[in-house]
């Protein structure tokens, strides 16, 4: 008989956002006349940039003619997009990459979850806490996370590095060696960042301890402050210890289009049990060639248009729209006396619940008394307890109305 992967059975009953959806649906059934404002899930609301739409129309037209039709594309991505990525996202920051070091994907979530395919199941793992759930869950699925300790909400083989208001959301460098460390900056869910000097400490730690950093930079386009690095490769030596993940989902509204990319430098290696050093670029290329058929040509042409002069202006206008939402929300929440973090270099606001209220209780209060949906902080890890995440990706009028309701409620 076929046997299941029993590691999947260790996972909590459902994904965080599925739990939220169930609670919201229950509310809608019992309060059918109430208008809900959703500021929980980080999905975008602004339409695609006209430059991207035009590029997609042109690509579709190409597919309608035999002489310009495209079938299977390269699993690694088309050179036209890879070259645009390198020229626009890295070269201006003094970072030089070869085409073969950039892998186009269908969004950062896929690659951050799948990168573990090329790493042994018994590597030790370290995460900042709170954290994007996919990092933990994907390690649970392959047996790398150990066993869930019910009393603490922590996995036995995972080292948690708390990020709270008490330490200004700056994770402490571990006092022991860890094989794999996940970093996400600007951070989801807290919206906080690391300065270049703080990120350098992590690169130095990784180089000294032969640690692999998995660096999720999905929100780098929202960075406003000059001392916050957009790429980990701005730090000397990072190519020897880090893989970087990027996404067009929030940068250019591609949540429904699906496109991003992963950078795996050729000088990055990991060891076998015998001590041989193996280039991870080679392994990831093999993995993608086997399990991934590539992102569609039409989608990649749309992504390429992001880097045109018109595309850059249009994308920047959308990013500014969301960041203006974040400012409006931050000011509104703070006027009620709530403690609010983030919202400066990222479209996320991390709100401290008042009077020691638990995350889920505050979620329910916000839903039932203000008809606003957030995301309970505990869903992102033990250190998220006592917080709730709100996103600035909504329509402007919804963000303004949500703040009015919260002010009236608080």
Is 377 annotated as a binding-site member? no
Helix, strand, coil percent values for the chain (each to nearest 5): 45, 15, 40
Is 387 annotated as a binding-site member? no
State whether the Cα torsion 189-194-199-205 is positive or negative.
negative
Is 116 annotated as a binding-site member? no
Helix (H, G, I), strand (E, B), or coil: what is residue 323? Answer: helix
Is 42 annotated as a binding-site member? yes
Place of tokens 């400012």: 327
Is 368 annotated as a binding-site member? no
Is 297 annotated as a binding-site member? no
CA dist 137 and 141 (Å) reads 6
Nearest residue to 75 (alpha-carbon basis) of 286, 304, 302, 301:
286
**What are residue 376's DSSP bridge partners?**
388
Is 109 annotated as a binding-site member? yes
Is 219 annotated as a binding-site member? yes
| Backbone Cα Rg of the chain | 21
Is 8 annotated as a binding-site member? no
Please answer whether residues 178 and 127 qualify as being in contact, where contact means their C-beta atoms are separated by less than 8 angstroms. Answer: no
Is 157 annotated as a binding-site member? no
Is 258 annotated as a binding-site member? yes
- 92 exposed, middle or buried (CB, 10 Å; 0-12, 13-18, 19+)? exposed
Please answer whether residues 260 and 106 qualify as being in contact, where contact means their C-beta atoms are separated by less than 8 angstroms. Answer: yes
Helix (H, G, I), strand (E, B), or coil: what is residue 174? Answer: coil
CA dist 62 and 78 (Å) reads 16
Is 222 annotated as a binding-site member? no
List the binding residues: 15, 42, 72, 108-109, 132, 188, 219, 247-249, 258, 293, 389
Binding site membership for pyridoxal 5'-phosphate: which residues?
Answer: 72, 108-109, 132, 188, 219, 247-249, 258, 293
Annotated binding site for substrate: 15, 42, 109, 132, 188, 293, 389
């Amino acid at each position: 008989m076929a046997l299941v992967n029993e590691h999947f059975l260790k996972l909590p009953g459902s994904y965080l956002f599925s739990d939220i959806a169930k609670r919201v649906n229950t509310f809608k059934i019992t309060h059918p006349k109430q208008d809900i404002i959703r500021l929980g899930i980080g999905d975008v609301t602004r339409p695609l940039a006209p430059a991207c739409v035009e590029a997609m129309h042109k690509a579709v037209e190409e597919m309608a003619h035999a002489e310009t039709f495209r079938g299977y594309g390269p699993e690694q991505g088309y050179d036209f997009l890879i070259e645009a990525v390198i020229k626009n996202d890295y070269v201006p920051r003094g970072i030089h990459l070869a085409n073969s070091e950039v892998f186009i994907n269908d969004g950062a979530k896929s690659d951050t979850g799948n990168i573990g395919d090329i790493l042994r199941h018994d590597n030790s793992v370290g995460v900042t806490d709170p954290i994007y759930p996919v990092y933990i869950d994907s390690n649970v699925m392959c047996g790398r996370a150990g066993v869930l300790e019910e009393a603490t909400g922590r996995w036995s083989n995972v080292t948690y590095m708390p990020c709270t208001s008490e330490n200004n959301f700056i994770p402490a460098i571990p006092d022991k060696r860890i094989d794999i460390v996940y970093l996400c900056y600007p951070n989801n869910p807290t919206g906080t960042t690391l300065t270049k000097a703080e990120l350098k400490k992590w690169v130095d730690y990784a180089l000294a301890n032969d640690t692999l950093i998995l660096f999720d930079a999905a929100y780098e386009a929202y960075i406003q402050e000059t001392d916050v690095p957009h790429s980990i490769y701005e730090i000397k030596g990072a190519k020897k210890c880090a893989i970087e993940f990027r996404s067009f989902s929030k940068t250019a509204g591609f949540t429904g289009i699906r496109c991003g990319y992963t950078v795996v430098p050729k000088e990055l290696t990991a060891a076998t049990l015998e001590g041989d050093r193996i280039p991870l670029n080679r392994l990831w290329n093999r993995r993608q060639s086997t399990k991934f058929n590539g992102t569609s040509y039409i989608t990649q042409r749309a992504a390429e248009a992001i880097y045109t002069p018109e595309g850059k202006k249009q994308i920047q206008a959308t990013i500014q729209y969301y960041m203006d939402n974040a400012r409006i929300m931050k000011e509104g929440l703070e006027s009620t006396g709530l403690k609010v973090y983030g919202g400066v270099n990222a479209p996320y606001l991390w709100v401290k619940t008042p009077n020691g209220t638990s995350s889920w209780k505050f979620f329910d209060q916000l839903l039932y008394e203000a008809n606003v949906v957030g995301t309970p902080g505990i869903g992102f890890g033990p250190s998220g307890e006592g917080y709730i995440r709100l996103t600035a990706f909504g329509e402007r009028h919804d963000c303004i109305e949500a703040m009015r309701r919260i002010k009236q409620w608080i």
